[in-house]
A = this chain, B = another copy of it.
Amino acid sequence: MDMKMAELAQRSGLSVATIKYYLREGLLAPGRRTSVNQAVYDDAHLERLRLIRALAKIAGLPLQTIRAVIDSVDGQSSVLHAMAVTQDALVGDVEEEEPVSDEGRLEALTEAERVLDETIRARGWECEPGSPAHRAAVRAVAQLHEEGLTALVGRLDDYAQAADAVGRTDLEAVTGAASLEETIRGVVLGSVMRRPMLDALVLLAQQHYARQHATI
């Protein structure tokens, strides 16, 4: 269904100025020109804008990173590749990337990686050993160790089992999407907007088990 710029803005929830900016930056394909200063846009434009909006406004990614994700969608890459690019963008954004010089820290990271890889093997996960997600997991486990939260690290297999259910559900929820673009948007939003929901659900579960603990 063709629509003018004003309607595109209204339906995408973005300002006309923002849409024109994305057009200039080449993130959005030009509309079909209907006169010298008029163009119309279709559902593909709307879907693309919704993806860009998710990446920019909700995931808070910089333009360069958004371009990498968009390129992987435009390249009609596989879900696997597009998800890898999206994950890298999402994790890279929060990752501290200073080189590790401290020897104790290096030891902690090596030990954390050993523990993590054992858990990964136990679960039978096939995943990228050097991916930002893997490095983020190593750092998170090392940090728990450093804070003396060994009880949490000791339950790594239990957390991995829960994570398995979440990751499987994420994939099942997005792979029914109509287009790769919609799938990627699901992956991005699944990684960004599903988080607060899961976090809040965990708090509710904590309330429940804290209450049980109190009445025992």
Q: Which single member of B79, B80, B159, B212 contacts A197 (CB below 8 Å)? A: B159
The reply to whether B137 and A201 contact each other, CB–CB distance below 8 Å, is yes
Most buried by B among A128, A177, A204: A204
Q: Which single member of B128, B136, B173, B191 contacts A154 (CB below 8 Å)? A: B173
Number of interface residues of A (CB under 8 A): 82
The reply to whether B211 and A162 contact each other, CB–CB distance below 8 Å, is no
Interface residue? A24 (CB, 8 A):
no
Within 8 A of B (CB), among A115-151: 120, 123, 125-128, 131, 133-134, 136-137, 139-141, 143-144, 147-149, 151
Number of copies of this chain that the complex holds:
2
Interface residues of chain A, those whose CB is within 8 Å of chain B, are: 50, 54, 58, 78-80, 83-84, 87, 90-91, 120, 123, 125-128, 131, 133-134, 136-137, 139-141, 143-144, 147-149, 151-152, 154-156, 158-177, 186-187, 189-191, 193-214
